[in-house]
Amino acid sequence: MTDIILPVPEAEADSRLDRFLRRNVEGLTQAMIQKLLRTGKIRIDGKRAEASTHVETGQIVTVPPIIPPKDMPKVRQVMVMDPHMLRDLEGMILYRDESVIVLNKPAGLASQGGSGIKVHLDGMLDALRFEGTERPKLVHRLDRDTSGVLLLARGVKPASRLAAAFRGRDVEKTYWALLWGVPPVLEGRIDLPLRG
């Protein structure tokens, strides 16, 4: 078996190496990536790299042959959208261009799936491709019980740029809470765990 040779296309420039590999090498898990990087078996232009390294257009990523583990995670489940769900999803769109989709996520809708969560935004994203070929990507998340503005990237490159903006604190987030009545203390600090 021969090594897998992956030239980095322009559309994937500035992606983290681990994310680039998971998108482009079937059967490669995050644990496998970490082990192969630690042992120097994954290389960029012949040199060792780290998972957080950002790849650049034209670089060559070399990966040894991959034998998928028997307990591979299941393929992403795409939700079947009935016309009412699709109408509601499209009604959440506040803004859309070639790079981003901005949604008004309602309270009660989870951003991603998990234990016992069957209906979630991540499972609906294929319905928001419109004329694009790539599946939109969540750039950040909001808790299920939180309503608010959620940003989706319409491709790998916008996702990478937006993730960098969130990491670099270039994005300002504002959270509002609605209260019933007026609290007895008008200001202060709560330093306790939240109870559900």
Domain boundaries, the chain: 4-63, 83-167
Q: Comparing 4-63 with 83-167, is the CATH topology the same?
A: no
| pLDDT on residue 15 | 86
Q: Which helix (H) or strand (E) holds 101?
A: strand 100-105
**Exactly one of 143, 145, 170, 191 is catalytic; which is it?**
143
Q: How many Cα atoms are found within 13 Å in the side-chain-facing hemisphere of 49?
A: 23
| pLDDT on residue 184 | 86
- The whole-number mean pLDDT for each consecutive block of 10 residues of the chain, a chain of 196 residues, reads 88 87 84 91 93 92 79 61 90 94 93 82 89 86 91 88 83 82 84 69
CA 162 – CA 124 distance, rounded (Å): 21
Per the CB < 8 A criterion, the answer to whether 39 and 100 are in contact is: no
CA 47 – CA 42 distance, rounded (Å): 8
Look up 143 and say whether it is catalytic.
yes
One of 3.30.9.100, 3.30.2350.10, 1.20.1250.20, 3.10.310.10 is the CATH number of 83-167, namely 3.30.2350.10
3-state secondary structure of 191: coil
Q: What is the pTM of this model?
A: 0.63
CA 3 – CA 65 distance, rounded (Å): 5
Structure tokens belonging to residue 162 = 């937006």
| pLDDT on residue 119 | 86
Helices (H), the chain: 17-24, 30-38, 83-91, 156-167
- Find all residues with CB under 8 Å of 28, minimum gap 6, and list them: 21, 22, 63, 66
CATH topology classification for 4-63: 3.10.290
Longest CA pairwise span in the chain (Å): 71
